[in-house]
Structure 1
Amino acid sequence: MNHSKIRRLLLCSLLGAFASTGVISKTHAQTAPIPDWLPPAIIYSVYPEIFSEAGNLAGVTAQLPRLQKLGVTVLWIMPVTPVGQPFEGRPAFNSPYCVRDYYGIDPRYGTGDDLKQLVRAAHRHGIKVILDAVLNHTAWENPMLRQHPEYYKHTDADPKNVASIQQAFTYADVAQLDYNNPELRQYITRMLGWWVSEYDIDGFRFDAASNPPSANRMIPASFWKSLPATLQKIKPDLLLLGECLDPELARAPFSLDYGWNVGDGLKRAAGGESADAVRAAWLRQTDNYPPGMLHLSLQDTWDAPDRDVRLYGGPSGAMAAAVFNLTINGIPLLYNGMEVGNDAGTINPHQKINWKSPYRQFPAFYRDLIALRKRYPALQQGTMTWLPNSAPDQVLSYTRSGGGGEFLILINLSNRPVKGSMSASVGAGWFEVTPSGSPGGRKHTYSPEFSLLPHDFAILRRVLPSKSTSRRK
Structure 2
Amino acid sequence: MSAPEPLHPHSHLFQVRHPEWAANATIYEVNLRQFSPEGTFRAFAEHLPRLAAMGVSIVWLMPVHPIGEVNRKGTLGSQYAVRDYLGVNPEFGTLDDLRHLVQKAHALGLKVLLDWVANHTSWDNPLVAQHPEWYQHDARGQLVPPVPDWTDVVAFDYAQPGLRRYMTDALLYWVREADIDGYRCDVAGLVPTDFWDEARLELDEVKPLFMLAEWDELYPSGGLSWAEFNSDTKLLERAFNMTFGLRLHYLLDHIAEDKNALSDIDIYLAAERAKYPPSVYLMHFTSNHDVNSWDGTEYERLGPMALPFAVLTVLLPGMPLVYTGQEAALNKRLAFFDRDPVDWQEYPLQDFYTRLLQLKRRHPALRNGDPTSRFLRLETAPELYGFLRRKDAAAVLCVVNAAPAERTLVLPELAAGTWLDVFSEQQLELRAGDVVAIPAQGWRVLEQAP
Please indicate the TM-score interval, normalised by the length of the shorter structure.
Answer: 0.7 to 0.9
The answer (yes or no) to whether the contact 1:344–1:352 under 8 Å persists in 2 is no
The amino acid across from 1:230 in the alignment is: E
Q: TM-score, normalised by structure 1?
A: 0.82
The amino acid across from 1:458 in the alignment is: R
The amino acid across from 2:340 in the alignment is: Q
1:166 counterpart (144, 148, 152): 144
Residue aligning to 1:263? 249
Residue 48 in structure 1 maps to residue 27 in structure 2: no
Give how far 1:417 is off. 3.5
Output aligned runs, 1:281-300, within 5 Å.
281-300=268-287
Give the 3-state SS of the residue equivalent to 1:108 in structure 2: coil
Give how far 1:461 is off. 3.0
Distance 1:386 1:142, change over 3 A: same
Residue aligning to 1:378? 365
Give how far 1:185 is off. 0.5
Could you list the structure 1 runs, at least 4 aligned residues long, displaced by more than 6 angstroms after superposition: 441-444
2:209 counterpart (238, 242, 248): 238
Give the 3-state SS of the residue equivalent to 2:303 in structure 1: coil
Residue aligning to 1:5? none
Residue 280 in structure 1 maps to residue 280 in structure 2: no
Residue aligning to 1:334? 322
State the distance in 2 between where 1:137 and 1:98 align.
8
Distance 1:385 1:27, change over 3 A: closer
Percent identity over paired residues: 30
State the distance in 1 between where 2:415 and 2:400 align.
19
Answer with 170-179 or 241-250: which moved more.
Answer: 241-250
The amino acid across from 1:182 in the alignment is: P
State the distance in 1 between where 2:344 and 2:267 align.
36
State the distance in 2 between where 1:347 and 1:277 align.
33
1:180 counterpart (147, 159, 177): 159
Give how far 1:190 is off. 0.6
The amino acid across from 1:461 in the alignment is: E
Give how far 1:27 is off. 9.5
Distance 1:261 1:152, change over 3 A: same
Residue aligning to 1:411? 400
The answer (yes or no) to whether the contact 1:228–1:253 under 8 Å persists in 2 is yes
State the distance in 2 between where 1:113 and 1:34 align.
29
State the distance in 2 between where 1:396 and 1:336 align.
27
The answer (yes or no) to whether the contact 2:16–2:238 under 8 Å persists in 1 is yes
Output aligned runs, 1:142-161, within 5 Å.
142-156=125-139
Residue 353 in structure 1 maps to residue 342 in structure 2: yes
The answer (yes or no) to whether the contact 2:374–2:391 under 8 Å persists in 1 is no
Residue 458 in structure 1 maps to residue 432 in structure 2: no
The amino acid across from 1:276 in the alignment is: S
Give the 3-state SS of the residue equivalent to 1:254 in structure 2: coil
State the distance in 2 between where 1:341 and 1:118 align.
25
The answer (yes or no) to whether the contact 1:28–1:252 under 8 Å persists in 2 is no
Q: Give unpaired runs (5+ residues) of structure 2.
A: 1-9, 218-232
Residue aligning to 2:6? none
2:60 counterpart (76, 80, 105): 76
RMSD: 2.4
Output aligned runs, 1:395-410, within 5 Å.
395-402=384-391, 404-410=393-399
The amino acid across from 2:212 in the alignment is: L
Residue aligning to 1:313? 303
Give how far 1:310 is off. 3.3
Q: TM-score, normalised by structure 2?
A: 0.86
State the distance in 1 between where 2:438 and 2:262 align.
14
Give how far 1:219 is off. 1.4
Distance 1:416 1:224, change over 3 A: farther
State the distance in 2 between where 1:351 and 1:446 align.
51
The answer (yes or no) to whether the contact 1:365–1:436 under 8 Å persists in 2 is no
State the distance in 2 between where 1:174 and 1:416 align.
49
State the distance in 1 between where 2:139 and 2:431 align.
68
Give how far 1:413 is off. 3.4
The answer (yes or no) to whether the contact 1:40–1:380 under 8 Å persists in 2 is yes
Distance 1:427 1:42, change over 3 A: closer
The amino acid across from 2:286 in the alignment is: Q
Give the 3-state SS of the residue equivalent to 2:23 in structure 1: coil
Residue aligning to 1:391? 381
